[in-house]
Amino acid sequence: MLVLLILFTVIQFIQPARNSSVLLLAADITKAVSVPDSVLLILKIACYDCHSNNTRYPLYTYLQPMGWMMASHISNGKANLNFSEFGTYSKRKQANKLRSIVTSIQEGSMPLSSYTMMHKDARLNTQDKKKLTDWALAAKDSIE
Ligand code: HEC
């Protein structure tokens, strides 16, 4: 028990780097395709923590190992899809990503359930899902 307590205390000092940049890059998705405010709001609440250059960190992520888990989701999530750098993708890749946004929402694989467990506001209701998928399909058609 004491060993665990010491270990827990020690790991608190190993804080992962924070993913936060307030810069709006020229490559931001809003510059590449049209994103209505109502859609952007859902994306920001439900997806941007892992798929953009700016994560909102709730207090619990300052506690390890939760912060490390979050950092790993972020680097993994950004490597697959980064809304802040969407414009750097080829048109073909952009269309593919928009298509997989539709699939991931229809399958319910995004946002990750381990995340919505802690972030109730990121849970998508039927209306949010429809709004996102309708938008992603229209955005995909606009670049193809
Ligand atoms: C807690 C972090 C997290 C959140 C929040 C999140 N994602 Fe993800 N997402 C990931 C990770 C990690 C991956 C990498 C693949 C995997 O682990 O499933 C991923 C993969 C994806 C992919 C696959 C990309 C590809 O290469 O085809 C899509 C699309 C996606 N996410 C869309 C979304 C959308 C849309 C939202 C919001 C509704 C969202 N994600 C919210 C972490 C997250």
CA of 130 to the centre of ligand 1 (A): 17
Residue 7, φ and ψ in degrees, nearest 5: -60, -45
CA distance 140 to 137: 5
CA-based angle 109:113:114, to the nearest 5?
135
pLDDT tier for residue 89 given thresholds of 50, 70 and 90 = very high
pLDDT on residue 122: 97
Show the tokens assigned to 121. Answer: 């506001």
Of 13-22, 26-35, 114-123, which gets the smallest average pLDDT?
Answer: 13-22
Name all residues whose Cβ lies below 6 A of ligand 1: 46-47, 49-51, 73, 76-77, 80-81, 100-101, 104-105, 110-112, 115
Ligand 1 atom nearest residue 81's Cα: 24
pLDDT tier for residue 28 given thresholds of 50, 70 and 90 = very high
Query: Quick check: 12 and 65 in contact, CB under 8 A?
Result: no
* Average pLDDT estimate for 52-81: 95
Probe ligand 1: pick from 41, 44, 51, 89, max atoms within 8 Å of CB? 51
pLDDT on residue 12: 93
CA distances from 16 to 36, 49, 61, 72, 78 (A): 33, 15, 10, 9, 16
Probe ligand 1: pick from 35, 47, 105, 116, max atoms within 8 Å of CB? 47
CA of 16 to the centre of ligand 1 (A): 20
pLDDT tier for residue 23 given thresholds of 50, 70 and 90 = confident
Q: What letters, b where the CB count within 10 A reaches 16 and e where it falls short, cover 12-31? A: eeeebeebeeeeeeeebbbe
pLDDT tier for residue 21 given thresholds of 50, 70 and 90 = confident
pLDDT on residue 129: 98
Q: What letters, b where the CB count within 10 A reaches 16 and e where it falls short, cover 39-71? A: beebbebbbbbbbbbbbeeeeebeebeebeebb
pLDDT tier for residue 41 given thresholds of 50, 70 and 90 = very high
Show the tokens assigned to 139. Answer: 């955005």
